Structure 1
């Protein structure tokens, strides 16, 4: 296990650095040409006054994954040589705290969705960085598959962390309700306001999330339309519904169906991050399609609102105390 984790971590770092060094994607139409790299895609968001989204994107696809990889290498390379790594406990805690917030593979899927969306508009070029990033996503995903908290604590000769002190049930319930209600409030503008604006020859064409799904469906891109519909509409609604049901069940002292409720909770944990696909698609299109008055894409307010929904629902899932499912109050 140690050798595999080190190998995948090293490979991930190498591919990530390579992905930052070359052209990522290019877009040409009507004699106009524009190319971007990964850093350029982040800068484009900041230039369009979406600094928050730019920071978030850089964090979840670069900063947090690289932090996890460096921490793992710092801990496991000494283990390969039979030595005990220093500062193992805080670094392991950091690794598993950051793990749910890495979205390398989600960004890759978003890139593929973006390519399908604009393939009919113009000529698309794929640079070396795209292939390097794809390998980065694959090796990072493989590394995460081998990442086991219990085994890592044993390998680093570190004591398993003590169970967290039990919190009052009311604290978990109230915090979760607050996050869920706020998520619902942001979900309304996320679906009613435009998530992006397409400017073609001076004509502004706003597009909502559902409008984008309909457009893709009419274009015949049924799989991509289905992916966006599931990730951007069904998943957030389903996650909100499941978390509301779980929180209500523990608040009303419902004692039954524990296994079903735990399955529901695990589903929300797994699918929550994937709603970021649409936000990443907008970020990629905004950075790639900048041809002045001929054709340009700009983010809409819904992108920020939807991003907030994803973050708040993830926090709501983390704040929900699953022990309440198994205990009568």
Structure 2
């Protein structure tokens, strides 16, 4: 195992003593976490991951919750969400399945086989694990459930079943497992980092060393483009084309952001009379019902966070392009904050999906998704990829 690590954020080469008892190693320049040192046994992580899979299976088949109003009731399970979305809302269905089931399941199954059965994974599994590890949105889904519950209690009586509790337990287990076993550890199992002659405290680029932004493997090279010896991805000293790619994705998100706020995200049909409501209408309605917390959550997740992400990324791309950054450290922290908060915008998407699945009370009351929720879901996903496309090392290359 190499005694050096290369920071994927600022390209600094850092000396690491693997025998030192630390919970984590951080880059001294930009503060990025370089390596976690979990004292938890991998067999214990595999046990929790296997338990989480069991709870996920129970959550899918068991009833989730039910509502009743005026003597008429409706129940919901996670499977019923799939049945309702597959009729008309293919994109919502695929997004829901991927973020809530497929990505978490891939992460958990990989951990069970690698940590539990000690099987050596392939490069393909490593790539899938790295991608899906970032895309697990079960915690966002659970928060969406809580927001939906507050909305539902104003419409009808709500009862909970075993599926509700198992989903909550599953989300806690998943978050814990993802925190304890990260992609960096999996890549070390697939292809351990070889020792490279580098000096600590100097940028890897200045030592003709490249670092793969996908798996973190670093190696000597004098070529503009190389294939990573570990994962096979293209590796650049700096990916300058990321600026145009990231901006194009941002422009697409901005175009979709307008209709996502103007058009209805859902339609409420009461006694054969249908009315549409956009995101702002939902915020105002919750505020008038004195559900101030829910109102603020929706306002932040659906209006402020997407706008903040788009504006922040545009600013970061612009100052990086013109190579004039007044405070490199703050711009880097701004970029990382965009990466962290971006996923939480999916709360409103989950709220609409849950409300549409459960509010089907005969011919009395029903809720259906609107076209705008598809646009909004697209905005969230596109901005996620736009942020991931950007090469943060370009920020640190700019001289003050």
CA distance in 1 between counterparts of 2:386 and 2:100 reads 22
Q: Which runs of 5+ in 2 are unaligned?
A: 1-39, 194-214, 219-233
CA distance in 2 between counterparts of 1:100 and 1:10 reads 20
1:78 to 93, 109, 117: 117
Per-residue deviation, 1:241 = 1.1
Q: Is the 8 A contact 1:88 1:158 kept in 2?
A: no
- Identify the residue that residue 96 of structure 2 maps to in structure 1: 57
Task: Name whichever of 120-129 and 91-100 sits farther off.
Answer: 91-100
Larger radius of gyration: 2
Q: Is the 8 A contact 2:246 2:386 kept in 1?
A: yes
The 5-angstrom pairing of residues 13-92 of structure 1 reads 13-47=53-87, 49-79=88-118, 85-92=119-126
Per-residue deviation, 1:323 = 1.1
CA distance in 2 between counterparts of 1:166 and 1:255 reads 23
Structure with the bigger percentage of strand:
2
Determine which structure has greater relative contact order: mean sequence separation of CA pairs < 8 Å that are 6+ residues apart, divided by chain length: 1
Per-residue deviation, 1:92 = 2.6
Q: Is the 8 A contact 1:26 1:126 kept in 2?
A: yes
Secondary structure of the residue aligned to 1:20 is: helix
Per-residue deviation, 1:23 = 0.4
Rate the CA distance shift 1:30–1:263 in 2: closer, same or farther, 3 A.
same
The 5-angstrom pairing of residues 235-250 of structure 1 reads 235-250=305-320
- Identify the residue that residue 299 of structure 2 maps to in structure 1: 229
Is 1:159 aligned to 2:199, yes or no?
no
CA distance in 1 between counterparts of 2:125 and 2:116 reads 14
CA distance in 1 between counterparts of 2:123 and 2:329 reads 32
- Identify the residue that residue 131 of structure 2 maps to in structure 1: 97
- Identify the residue that residue 171 of structure 2 maps to in structure 1: 137
Per-residue deviation, 1:152 = 3.7
- Give the number of aligned pairs: 322
The 5-angstrom pairing of residues 1-329 of structure 1 reads 1=40, 2-47=42-87, 49-79=88-118, 85-154=119-188, 156=189, 158-160=191-193, 161=215, 162-163=217-218, 165-166=235-236, 169-328=239-398
Task: Name whichever of 265-274 and 163-172 sits farther off.
Answer: 163-172
CA distance in 2 between counterparts of 1:284 and 1:151 reads 36
Rate the CA distance shift 1:157–1:286 in 2: closer, same or farther, 3 A.
closer
CA distance in 1 between counterparts of 2:302 and 2:44 reads 34
CA distance in 2 between counterparts of 1:223 and 1:318 reads 31
CA distance in 1 between counterparts of 2:122 and 2:297 reads 40
What is the TM-score normalised by the length of structure 2?
0.77
Q: Is the 8 A contact 1:75 1:88 kept in 2?
A: no
CA distance in 1 between counterparts of 2:339 and 2:304 reads 15
Per-residue deviation, 1:55 = 1.4
Per-residue deviation, 1:167 = 6.9
Q: Is the 8 A contact 1:199 1:295 kept in 2?
A: yes
Structure with the bigger percentage of helix:
1
- Identify the residue that residue 17 of structure 2 maps to in structure 1: none
Per-residue deviation, 1:78 = 3.1
CA distance in 1 between counterparts of 2:117 and 2:51 reads 18
Q: Which runs of 5+ in 1 are unaligned?
A: 80-84
Task: Name whichever of 50-59 and 274-283 sits farther off.
Answer: 50-59
Aligned CA RMSD, in angstroms, stands at: 1.7
Secondary structure of the residue aligned to 2:268 is: strand
CA distance in 1 between counterparts of 2:92 and 2:327 reads 39
1:42-93 Cα offsets, whole Å, 9 max, x none, are 221222x1011011101111111111110111111133xxxxx233443233
Rate the CA distance shift 1:167–1:208 in 2: closer, same or farther, 3 A.
farther
Per-residue deviation, 1:256 = 4.0
